[in-house]
Amino acid sequence: METPGSARTLRELQKKKRRGERIVALTAYDYQMARLEEIAGVDFILVGDSMGMAVLGDDTTLRVTMEIMLPHAAAVSRGAPATLVVGDMPFGSYEVSDEQAVVNAVRFLAEGGTGAVKLEGGNPRSVSRVRAIVDSGIPVMGHIGLQPQSIRKTGGYRVIYSDQRDRMLSEALALQEAGAFAMVIESMEEELAGEITRLLAVPTIGIGAGRLTDGQILVVNDMLGLSGDFSPRFLKKYAALDTVILDAVRSFASEVTDGVYPGTEHIFPAKDDR
């Protein structure tokens, strides 16, 4: 029997692209969310380094490490055993050398239970890392456009426009040639993302890249309304769980304060020894 990270699952993504069927993906960081996403039928789950911002409260992803990522990857893999889980290689886990990249990619599969990894960038260094990891037998998802791990260099979160067309096309093709099985395209002008999608044989997954990519991914905390006032242009909030949870916590606090909870139905009475 083939595992979710096997060639069979990757071929399904390729088939969806060829058939013009949209690919659906979300991030997840824990067992319960992964379980629900699998039930809902998403095509793959990304254990994103976005965890640093969405879960840990940082203002960037740069403080996320392998030691933080791996337990979350393992929890997601347990929660969604029949779904492709992709581990997002954090800043510092692949920059030094191809060898470092392979070692940490192996850890995602061996310790985190993922079926593939993702890494940012299409420059020669990143392309070399992708090739080395793929050569070691591990599927790799590429990532072009906005690269959150590079914001110290770029000066912030900026949309990629057509004035960078040649570079984006070159990076996308280089990553595909290196063996990437799919490509995340982040924060990019719609027409440019569409051109890249038409050019590539592998599926493209957009986040803030318009309607013309092969699929879409969002940070699950953001789309569920768990990120406060964070509301970039591309984000659609499908629920307002901030409000739901706040109301529930306030009700709990009020009932405890007033002595309403726990009620008689919530206690263990004395054992009947008759």
Q: What is the CATH number of the domain that holds 151?
A: 3.20.20.60
pLDDT(154) > 70: no
Does residue 274 lie in a domain region? no
The residue segments making up the domain with residue 178 are: 7-266
Contact 122, 171 (CB under 8 A): yes
In a domain, 82, yes or no: yes
In a domain, 225, yes or no: yes
- Cα–Cα distance list, 271 to 12, 265, 267, 274 (Å): 57, 15, 12, 9
Residues 169, 171: Cα–Cα separation, whole Å: 6
- The catalytically annotated residue of 37, 120, 171, 186 is 186
In a domain, 273, yes or no: no
Give the count of domains, the chain.
Answer: 1
Q: The whole model's pTM is what?
A: 0.93
253 domain residue, yes or no: yes
> pLDDT at position 145, please?
94
Is 271 within a domain? no
| 64 domain residue, yes or no | yes
Spatial distance between the Cα atoms of 119 and 125, rounded to a whole number of angstroms:
11
β-sheet bridge partners, residue 185: 144, 206
Picking from 109, 45, 117, the residue whose alpha carbon sits closest to that of residue 76 is 45
Residue 1 falls inside a structural domain: no
What is the pLDDT of the chain when averaged over all its residues? 93
Tokens at 180, concatenated: 């990437």
pLDDT at 186: 96
High-pLDDT (> 70) share of the chain, %:
93
**Catalytic: 186?**
yes
Mean pLDDT over 142-154 rounds to: 80
